[in-house]
Chain A
Amino acid sequence: MVFYLRWIFWGSVAVILASFLYYTLPQTDVVRVVETEVRRVDLGGENTLFWSQPDSGQAVNDTRDVFFIQTVQRNGKPMVYRNEDTGWSWPPYFKFDTANLQTEASSLRSPDPNNAQWAAIGHYGVRIPYLSIYPNAISIRPVSGPDVTIVPWIAIICWFFVISFIWYVTARWIRFKRSRISPALDRLDAKYDDTTGRISRWLGTWRSKPRG
Chain B
Amino acid sequence: MVFIRFLVILLIVQTVVFVCLSIYSRLARREKLETEFEARRAMDPALTPAAKDSFIRDGLAEYDGSMRRKLILLVYVVPIAAIGTIIYTVNHM
* Chain A residues in the interface with B (C-beta under 8 A): 56, 87-89, 92-97, 100, 138-139
Contacts of A88 in B (CB 8 A): 2-3, 5-6
15 more contacts with CB within 8 A, not counting A88-B6, A97-B91, A100-B91, are A88-B2, A88-B3, A88-B5, A89-B6, A92-B86, A93-B90, A94-B86, A94-B87, A94-B90, A95-B90, A95-B91, A96-B87, A97-B90, A139-B90, A139-B93
Q: Nearest residue in A to B82 (C-beta to C-beta)?
A: A92
Q: Is the interface of A mostly helix, strand, loop or mixed?
A: loop
Contact A87:B91 (CB < 8 A) given known A92-B83, A92-B86: no
Return A140 CB to nearest CB of chain B, in Å: 12
Cβ–Cβ contact A89 & B91, under 8 A = no
Contacting residue for B83 out of A89, A94, A139, CB 8 A: A94
Cβ–Cβ contact B2 & A94, under 8 A = no
Q: Is the interface of B mostly helix, strand, loop or mixed?
A: helix
Per-residue 0/1 for B58-93: is the Cβ within 8 Å of any A Cβ (1 yes, 0 no)? 000000000000000000000000010011001111
Cβ–Cβ contact B6 & A138, under 8 A = no
Cβ–Cβ contact B6 & A93, under 8 A = no
Cβ–Cβ contact B2 & A96, under 8 A = no
In whole angstroms, what is the CA distance A100 to B93 when docked?
Answer: 11
Return B82 CB to nearest CB of chain A, in Å: 9
Per-residue 0/1 for B1-25: is the Cβ within 8 Å of any A Cβ (1 yes, 0 no)? 0110110000000000000000000
Contacts of B3 in A (CB 8 A): 88
Return A23 CB to nearest CB of chain B, in Å: 18
In whole angstroms, what is the CA distance A92 to B83 when docked?
Answer: 8
Please give me the 3 A-B residue pairs with the lowest Cβ-Cβ distance, nearest first.
A88-B6, A97-B91, A94-B87
**What are 27 sample pairs from A and B whose C-beta atoms fall under 8 A apart?**
A56-B2, A87-B2, A88-B2, A88-B3, A88-B5, A88-B6, A89-B2, A89-B6, A92-B83, A92-B86, A93-B86, A93-B90, A94-B83, A94-B86, A94-B87, A94-B90, A94-B91, A95-B90, A95-B91, A96-B87, A96-B91, A97-B90, A97-B91, A97-B92, A138-B90, A139-B90, A139-B93
In whole angstroms, what is the CA distance A34 to B93 when docked?
Answer: 23
Q: Nearest residue in A to B84 (C-beta to C-beta)?
A: A94
In whole angstroms, what is the CA distance A56 to B1 when docked?
Answer: 10
In whole angstroms, what is the CA distance A87 to B5 when docked?
Answer: 12
Return A154 CB to nearest CB of chain B, in Å: 10
Return A103 CB to nearest CB of chain B, in Å: 13
In whole angstroms, what is the CA distance A93 to B89 when docked?
Answer: 10
Return B88 CB to nearest CB of chain A, in Å: 9
Contacts of A95 in B (CB 8 A): 90-91
Most buried by B among A56, A93, A100, A138: A93
Q: Nearest residue in B to A100 (C-beta to C-beta)?
A: B91
In whole angstroms, what is the CA distance A29 to B79 when docked?
Answer: 28
Contacts of B92 in A (CB 8 A): 97
